[in-house]
Amino acid sequence: MENPKLLEEELGKYLRLRRKAFDLKQAEVAEKAKLSVTYLSQIENGSSSPSFITLLKLVEPLKIDLGDLYKQFKPLIDQIKEKEE
């Protein structure tokens, strides 16, 4: 599996877990974030990589702290960087 794809998949899993932790349906989050349900589903499944703007749209409905998100994914990001060098 390619490393960037792994990052997309792990981010998608994280977002799905956050949504489920707050007992929210995809349609509810999509509406609050002004995204289509299809696009949110693709992000959660790791088949689409969200832009930074899209992540910002998801911050409020999923109660995400961007600093915490960065800390959680930093080890994986560092691993990808090392393999690219």
- Per-residue pLDDT tens digits for 29-84: 999 999 999 999 999 999 999 999 999 999 999 999 999 999 989 988 888 888 77
The answer to whether 62 and 84 have CB atoms below 8 angstroms apart is no
Q: Where are the domains of the chain?
A: 3-84
pLDDT at res. 1: 42
**CA distance readout (Å), 78 to 5, 7, 83:** 15, 11, 9
Whether the model clears a pTM of 0.85, i.e. scores above it, the answer is yes
Supply the pLDDT for residue 62: 97
DSSP string computed for 16-53: HHHHHHTT--HHHHHHHHT--HHHHHHHHTTSSPPPHH
Task: For domain 3-84, give the fold.
Answer: 434 Repressor (Amino-terminal Domain) (1.10.260)
